Chain A
Amino acid sequence: MRAGISELAARLRNREISSVELTKAYIDAIEKLNPTLNIYVYLTFDTALKAAEKADQMLDEGDAPLICGIPMALKDNICTDGLPTTCCSRILKGFKPYYDATVWEKLKKQGAVLLGKANMDEFAMGNTSETSCYGAPLNPRNTNYVTGGSSGGSAAAVCANLAVYSLGSDTGGSIRLPASFCGVVGLKPTYGAVSRYGLIAYGSSLDQIGPLTNSVKDAAIVFDAIKGGDRRDQTSVDHDYGSSLAECLERDVKGMRIGVAEEFFDGINPEIKSSIDEAIKLFERNGAIIENISLPALKLALPVYYIIACAEASSNLGRYDGIRYGHRASSYTSIDDMITKTRSEGFGDEVKRRIMLGTYVLSSGYYDAYYKKACLIREEINREFDAVFEKCDVLIAPTAPNTAFPLNYKGASPVEMYLADICTVPVNIAGIPAISIPCGEDSRGLPIGMQIIGRRFGEATVLQAAHFYEQSAGKVIDDYEGGAVI
C-alpha cells in the first residue's frame, strides 16, 4: 500500500525524508517509465528541485501546509507561468503563458512541487486521451488499454506512482472517467467551488478543476488546498464548507439516504453493474437507506451535453488564429488564409468536429432547435436532481458503462465513443459534485469505477460516503512496479 499525502507529510516533518529526496525518487521513476507510458508531455524537473528545496525550507520553518513538498502533476490545460501549457494541441505548441492559473498559484504558495504537465485529449475533447497531439498515454494497469480521458495523463501519473497527486479538469467526465479506467480516485467538485481562472476553456459552463489521487482522503486534502472563491472568476463561489474536509471524513453511514436511479444503469456492462450492486449492498448492510429513484430527463443528458459543450467550445476556440500565440501556418496569401491554414493545421479531427457541431447549433435558424432547447432541458435536469436531493443525501452510479477501451479501438464511431460519457455528463450539466472511486475489477483485471454524486456544495457528504466505502471494502491502491520508491 502506498503512502498518502498525510503520511508523506508526517515523514517530511519528522525528517525521515526531505522534499528534495522525495522529488528525486519521483524524477527517477518518471525517467524510467515515462518514455513508455507517455504520461508527461513536459517535464519540469529543474523547477521541481528548486521548489522542493524551498519546500524543505518551509518545512524547517514549521507550520507548512499539508501538501508542502509533495510532488504532483498538472493537466496540460492549466496555465503555468513561463512553462508550456498546450492543451496537447498543435495549435498551442510552444505556448508559455505569462500568468498562473489560480489553482496553481494556490498550490505553489503552499509549497507544491510540480513534476510536469500531464498528457490529455486535445483541448480536453475526448475520453481516451488519444486525441493528444503527443500521442496517447498508456494505461499503467495494462498498457494495451487507454487511460481514459480527457485527464488521462493526470490519472495515469497517480496510478503508476509518477506523482503523489495531480489536477485534472472535468467538463463531461474528464476526471472521473480516467480515474475509473486507471483505478484511482477522481473528484469533480461543484461548479464554482474551484476557480477556473487559468484553466484553458473547453465548455465554460461545465468545466471544473479537481484532484486525482490514490485515496479519498488525499482527494479531500487537495480539494481543501485548491477550493474557494476567486475575484478573477465571476462564476467561482466562496462557499463556507465549515472546516477542512479532510478532517471530517469519518462518518457512520447509518441513516444516510442513498439514491439509486435506474437510468444510470441502462446499457451498463453486467460486470460493472454487479460490482456497483455489491457496493450498494455494503452500504445497506451498514445501515444506509437505499432509495430507488428515477431521473427521466437523464436520457437526454448526453445530447444536451454535446450541444452545450460544443457550442461553448466553438466560441472559446475561436481565439486560436495564429496571431498572438501558438502555431501559425508558415505560408499564406492573406490574413484570412493565414487564420484558415493555421486552424486547419493546428486542430485535430475531434476538435474540428466539435467546433463544427457547436457552430452549427448556434447558427441562426438552428439556435432554437438545438442550443436553446438544450438549455431548457438542462433546467429540467437540474430540477430533477434538486427533487432527488430532497430525499437523498447522495446518489450511487457507475462511472462508465464499460471498463477501459483497448488502444486504437477502431470499431467505434465518434457517437459510440460519446456514449462512454453517459454516466458522467449529467453531473456537469447540473453543476453538482461527484467522485469516482475504485470498485473492483472486471474479468480482464481492468478497474471498475463507482460514482458517488452529491448536491451542490455537498462535497463533504460525497467524500464521507466514498471514504467509508474505501475503508470498509478495503479498496486500497497497491504499489506500482517501477513507480517511485520512497
Chain B
Amino acid sequence: MNYEIVCGIETHIELATKTKIFCGCTTEFGGEPNTHCCPVCTGQPGSLPILNQKVVEYAVKAGLALNCKINTRSHMDRKNYVYPDLPKAYQISQYDEPLCEKGYIELDSGKRIGITRIHIEEDAGKLVHENGYTYIDYNRSGVPLIEIVSEPDISSAEEAKEYAEKLQLTMRYIGISDCKMQEGSMRCDVNLSLRKPGDTKFGVRTEIKNINSLSFIQKAIVAEAERQADILEAGGTIVQQTMRYDEKTDSVAPMRDKENSDDYRYFPDPDILRFSIDEEKVEEIRASLPELPFDKLKRYMNVLGLPEATAKLIFRYRKVAEFFQGALAEGASVKNAANLIVGAIFSNMDTEEEKELFDIRISAAQFAALVKLADEKKINIGVAQGTLQKMLESGKPAEEFIKPEDLAGISDETLERLCREAIDANPRAADDVRSGKDKAINVMFGYIMKKTGGKADIRKAEALLRKLIGS
C-alpha cells in the first residue's frame, strides 16, 4: 500500500553573535576546553543571566526573512532537565511566547511549508569521552541558538531537503549564522509519520535527532518512511520514539534516550524581565535585510534574463551575488559578467566554502572594466578569461595584461581581405544575408574570428561584410 509522508522539521541554528546569549564570553568555535567560560555560562551559584540584545535582533531578522509575525512582547522560560552538559539543570528557552510565529518557506513548486515558530535559547556544553572518563567542555554553553519549528507540511524527502536548503541559504544570506551542518551550527530534527492517502488524522510519529547534512535529511526520511511502512504493512504499530540516522548503514535506529521524562516543568525565568521590541525597531531590522536569496534568483532569471543554471550558481553565495551586482552597476553586461564569474572565477574555487567566502583580489569595478572590454568586442571571451586569471593571481587591473596590439586588433586591409575570403568561402550564407536572413552573417563572423584568433573588431567586420555583400 502507498502511504503519505507527514513530516515536520525542527532546526537549531547557532547565531553568529560575538558574545554568548547571557554573558560576555566569546562564541568563537574551538578554543581550549573551558576557556570561553565565566560564572554565568557555567551556572555558578549566585550568577545571573543578562539577555544579549543582539540575539533578539538576529532572531527577529530570521523571523522577518521567513515571513513570520514578530511578537513584540516576549519572555524567557526555564526548561528544567538534568544532564551533565547543562550546568544550571535548566535551559533558558522560550515556551509559550516565542519571538516569531506563523511564517513560511516557499518551495520551487509554489507549495508553502509553514513555520510554526522561532524562539531563542541557549546551547549546552559538550561531553568529551576519553580514556574511560567523561569530561565536560562548557565553551559552547550559552552560545545563542534559534529553534525554527516547521508545520508538518512536508510530504516527501525531496521537499524536506529543499526546505532545509532554502532555510540554510536564507539564514546565511541575512548573516545571522554560517549554518555549517558538519560543525553543528545548523542541526535538524525530523518528525515523521505515515498515513493512508486521504486520511486526515496523523499517524504516530517518530523523531530523528541531530541530522548533520542536507543529503542525510533526505536519506533519513526515505529510510524511516520505509521502516514505518514495513511495520504498518505487517499490521504492527509505530512506537513514538527518538531515532538516530546512521549514515554508514543508511538506516534509522532507536536512540538510547536521556534518562528523564518529558516533563520539563517550564516556567517563566524570574531572572530575566519580560522584554519588548518596538515596532520601529522591527521596521529598522526589516529595512536592513538584504534582498533575500530566492527573490534575487527570480530577479536574475526574470529581469536580468540569466539562464536558470547560471543564475542558480551565482545567487546562492551572497558575496558572489554582491560582486556580480557591483560589476553590473559599473556597466558590465549581465551575460559576460555572469559567464566570467561562473566560467573563470569559480574554476579556482573547488569548495562551497570558498565560494561562500569569495575571497578574491580584485574589485567589482576592476572586474567590470575587463567585462566591458569584452562587451565592446575589444577583446574576445578567450582573452578576457586569460586576463581575468592573471588579474586574480596578481590583484592588478586589466590594463596591466592587455597589450595594445590585443586591442588594436587587425589592420583595415587585412580585415577587408579576410572579409572577401569569408564571403568566397561561404557563398550560400552570403546569398542568405542578401535575401534578408540576417543570422547567416554569423557564419562569416566565425570564419574571420577563427582566422584572427578572435582579435578582429567584430563591428568593423560586420560593416565591411555588409558593404561587400551589398545587403
Say whether A associates with B: yes
Partner-binding segment picked from A55-63, A218-226, A314-322, A399-407: A314-322
The yes or no answer to B339 lying at the interface (CB within 8 A) is no
Known: A97-B45, A323-B84. A235 touches B89 (CB 8 A): no
The answer, among B44, B48, B82, B88, for a CB contact under 8 Å with A97, is B44
Interface residues of A in 214-237 (CB under 8 A from B): 231-235
The yes or no answer to B306 lying at the interface (CB within 8 A) is no
Chain B CB within 10 A, most for which of A311, A321, A339, A363 = A321
The yes or no answer to A176 lying at the interface (CB within 8 A) is no
In angstroms, how far is the closest chain B Cβ from the Cβ of A393? Answer: 28
Residues of A within 8 A of B39 (CB): 97-99
The yes or no answer to B3 lying at the interface (CB within 8 A) is no
For A77, give the chain B residue with the smallest CB separation.
B46
The yes or no answer to A196 lying at the interface (CB within 8 A) is yes
Interface residues of A in 186-243 (CB under 8 A from B): 196-201, 203-205, 231-235
Residues of B within 8 A of A443 (CB): none
Q: Is the CB of A335 within 8 A of B267?
A: no
Q: Is the CB of B267 within 8 A of A204?
A: no
For A207, give the chain B residue with the smallest CB separation.
B270
Residues of B within 8 A of A324 (CB): 42-44, 87
The answer, among A95, A311, A318, for a CB contact under 8 Å with B267, is A311
In angstroms, how far is the closest chain A Cβ from the Cβ of B230? Answer: 34
Q: Is the CB of B49 within 8 A of A234?
A: yes
Tell me whether chain A's interface is mostly helix, strand or loop, or mixed.
loop
Give A200 to B272 CA distance when docked, in angstroms.
Answer: 16
In angstroms, how far is the closest chain A Cβ from the Cβ of B222? Answer: 35
Interface residues of A in 65-105 (CB under 8 A from B): 77-79, 85, 87, 92, 95, 97-99, 101
A sample of 9 cross-chain residue pairs with beta-carbon separation below 8 angstroms, ordered by A number, consists of A92-B45, A95-B45, A204-B271, A234-B272, A319-B45, A321-B89, A335-B84, A362-B265, A362-B266
In angstroms, how far is the closest chain B Cβ from the Cβ of A79? Answer: 4
For B39, give the chain A residue with the smallest CB separation.
A99
Tell me whether chain B's interface is mostly helix, strand or loop, or mixed.
loop
Residues of A within 8 A of B181 (CB): none
Residues of B within 8 A of A92 (CB): 45
For A203, give the chain B residue with the smallest CB separation.
B270
Known: A234-B51, A235-B271, A312-B270. A362 touches B80 (CB 8 A): yes
Size bin of chain B's contact surface = 20 to 34
The yes or no answer to A336 lying at the interface (CB within 8 A) is yes
Give A85 to B45 CA distance when docked, in angstroms.
Answer: 9
Known: A200-B46, A359-B265. A315 touches B84 (CB 8 A): no
In angstroms, how far is the closest chain B Cβ from the Cβ of A361? Answer: 9
For A334, give the chain B residue with the smallest CB separation.
B259
Give A199 to B45 CA distance when docked, in angstroms.
Answer: 8
The yes or no answer to B107 lying at the interface (CB within 8 A) is no
The yes or no answer to A145 lying at the interface (CB within 8 A) is no
The yes or no answer to A364 lying at the interface (CB within 8 A) is yes
Give A359 to B80 CA distance when docked, in angstroms.
Answer: 10
The answer, among B46, B88, B259, B270, for a CB contact under 8 Å with A198, is B46
Residues of B within 8 A of A77 (CB): 46
Residues of B within 8 A of A362 (CB): 80, 265-267
Top 4 A-B residue pairs of the complex, sorted by shortest distance between their CB atoms: A318-B89, A205-B270, A362-B265, A204-B270
Give A364 to B39 CA distance when docked, in angstroms.
Answer: 31
For A364, give the chain B residue with the smallest CB separation.
B263
Residues of A within 8 A of B273 (CB): 234-235
The yes or no answer to B187 lying at the interface (CB within 8 A) is no
The yes or no answer to A45 lying at the interface (CB within 8 A) is no
The answer, among B42, B46, B49, B134, for a CB contact under 8 Å with A101, is B46
Give A362 to B272 CA distance when docked, in angstroms.
Answer: 19
Residues of B within 8 A of A265 (CB): none
For B273, give the chain A residue with the smallest CB separation.
A234
Q: Is the CB of A318 within 8 A of B271?
A: no
Residues of B within 8 A of A314 (CB): 80, 265
Q: Is the CB of A319 within 8 A of B46?
A: no
Give A233 to B23 CA distance when docked, in angstroms.
Answer: 11
